[in-house]
Amino acid sequence: MNAFAFVIFGILGTALLILVFNGNDGTIGPMTDDQFAGTVYLGLLGTVIAAALFASGQRFGAMARQAGIWIAVLVMLVVGYEYRFELQETASRVTSGLLPGKPVTMEDVNGDLSVTVNRSGRHFEVLGTVNGERQPFMIDTGASTVVLTETNARKAGYDPDTLDFRIPVSTANGVTMAARISDVEIVIGGIGRQNMIALVARDNQLASNLLGMNFLDTLSSFEFQRDRMILRN
């Protein structure tokens, strides 16, 4: 067994002894268990890389250059991991800016989801699905209920000819009559809700689906940040 094998087993053995004799408080000295595991992993990886370089039989200068490259790669990986959430947020801003209406879903360190929507002109418009069918919405905090156009309701599996249009609703074109539907599944980005109640309005009275308060009220929160709206699951 060569020296590098002894080094690897020594690192693993030392780490195991520290874990065995350490308490169960989730920390090891100044480090958390996760940080300690990451340090052990980097130590093993560095040992393996060093072994590969020496085994290649290259001159010291060439080995030093390759070692420098590997160290730079490791540093970039570590930095990318540590700042993954900040990088994800930056990427979401770029994506939502290039693709208006596309919801950008993010997951924080606690596993909570948020969806970012960019302003499109005067309104916040977003692409979602209704019963699995891709459809556009205009987010309307003044609408108490999700409202679908007649055409979009048909795409989602509802036959407007069988619906009872007797519920008065106010739209930009004035008061119109709408029909009530139930068991609607609505998904915006990574946030989905089932068994929703919605209204269906005639096409000549509504230009786009409205994402109303009965969907927004199911969220933990939603907020406006200049030209962005953030929905939190």
What mean pLDDT do residues 11-34 have? 53
> Which of 87-91, 117-121, 157-161 is predicted least confidently?
87-91
Region 178-195: mean pLDDT is 95
165 pLDDT tier (thresholds 50, 70, 90): very high
pLDDT per position as a tens digit, 133-144: 999 999 999 889
pLDDT greater than 80 at residue 197: yes
pLDDT tens sequence across 60-118: 556 556 656 766 666 666 655 555 555 555 555 555 555 557 888 888 878 889 999 98
pLDDT, residue 131, reads 96
CA distances from 101 to 77, 104, 114, 164, 171 (A): 32, 9, 15, 32, 22
Alpha carbon distance 102, 26 (integer Å) = 41
For the chain, the first-to-last Cα distance in angstroms comes to 55
Tell me if 228 sits within 8 A of 108, measured CB to CB: no
pLDDT the model gives residue 5: 54
Structure tokens at 162: 């069988």
- Asked whether the predicted pLDDT for residue 122 surpasses 90, the reply is no
Top mean pLDDT of 88-97, 160-169, 170-179 is at 160-169
More confident residue, 3 or 184: 184
Helices then strands (H, E): number in the chain? 6, 13
**pTM for the whole thing?**
0.59
